[in-house]
């Protein structure tokens, strides 16, 4: 199976064709081996245009949705990123390519364990994964500020923790809505408050924790 070719096709037909043009983002998607982040039995579907089950009732998001969310973060090389919902670790790997450090939280021990295993197969090392309720923010230091926060599960409202943990100029990308349909929201922290933008409908697994469902 020529995974490299499949990856190039994925970038061209699923991501670029839908309007994502940031060269660094496209390069990250060409370089991260998505087939290493899906269960063995699903390797052949790794580059398909849809989410895939990864165990514990959770999914690895559709490639385009990951690309859209990551590009909305406008990451720079010196940025620290908080990721809620490590899942397979695939998006963690993409973020590692674009930012300084990725702090990732997953509520299932089993998924965090396999994400760490998946990430060990890459040459990346600028990440930390914790098992905790991500709606409470980074467990080690509640006062830590992040340049970007990305939430890969659907919230019923925007948890205040995330607003508090954004640095000035920081961006939060989060699906917000009902259990079965949400809108992709970007909040940018500005001197005079938060700018809110809506990037349309999406469907995510629920964000389960103190400040959500």
Phi first, then psi: give them for residue 137, nearest 5 degrees: 85, -170
What tokens does 55 get? 């165990």
- Contact yes or no for 29/11 (Cβ under 8 A): yes
Using CB under 6 A as the binding rule, whether residue 105 contacts ligand SAH is answered as yes
Smaller CB separation from ligand SAH, 135 or 190: 135
The distance of closest approach from Cβ of residue 5 to ligand SAH in the complex, given in angstroms and rounded to an integer, is 22
The Cα–Cα gap between 194 and 213 comes to 23
Distance CA 33, CA 14 (A): 16
Residue 61 or 71: the one with the smaller Cβ distance to ligand SAH is: 61
Give yes or no for residue 52 binding ligand SAH (CB under 6 A). Answer: no
127 - beta bridge partners?
Answer: 102
Is residue 61 annotated as a catalytic residue, yes or no? yes
Alpha helices in the chain (DSSP H): 3-9, 23-31, 63-72, 90-98, 109-120, 160-164
Pick between residue 14 and residue 58 the one whose CB is nearest to ligand SAH: 58
Binding string, residues 6-45; x marks residues near ligand SAH by CB under 6 A: ----------------------------------------
State the Rg of the chain over Cα.
Answer: 16
Region binding ligand SAH by CB under 6 A among candidate stretches 22-30, 70-78, 99-107, 141-149: 99-107
For residues 56 and 71, give the distance between their C-alpha atoms in angstroms, rounded to a whole number.
28
118 binds ligand SAH (CB under 6 A): no
Our finding on whether 80 is near ligand SAH (CB under 6 A) is no
Using CB under 6 A, list all residues that contact ligand SAH: 58-61, 84-85, 87-88, 90-91, 105-108, 111, 133-135, 152-153, 205, 207-209
């Amino acid at each position: 199976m020529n995974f490299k070719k499949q990856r190039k096709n994925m970038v061209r037909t699923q991501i670029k064709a839908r309007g994502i043009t940031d060269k660094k983002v496209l390069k990250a998607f060409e370089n991260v081996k998505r087939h290493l982040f899906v269960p063995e039995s699903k390797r052949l579907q790794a580059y398909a245009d849809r989410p895939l089950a990864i165990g514990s009732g959770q999914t690895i998001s559709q490639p385009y949705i990951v690309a859209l969310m990551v590009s909305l973060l406008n990451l720079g090389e010196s940025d620290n990123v908080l990721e809620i919902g490590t899942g397979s670790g695939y998006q963690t790997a993409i973020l590692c390519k674009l930012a300084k450090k990725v702090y990732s939280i997953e509520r299932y021990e089993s998924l965090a364990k396999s994400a760490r295993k998946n990430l060990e197969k890459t040459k990346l090392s600028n990440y930390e994964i914790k098992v905790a309720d991500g709606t409470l923010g980074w467990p080690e230091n509640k006062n830590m500020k992040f340049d970007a926060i990305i939430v890969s599960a659907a919230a019923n409202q925007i948890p205040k923790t995330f607003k508090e943990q954004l640095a000035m100029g920081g961006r939060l990308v989060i699906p917000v809505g009902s259990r079965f349909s949400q809108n992709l929201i970007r909040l940018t922290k500005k001197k005079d408050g938060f700018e809110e933008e809506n990037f349309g409908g999406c469907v995510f697994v629920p964000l389960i924790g103190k400040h959500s469902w």
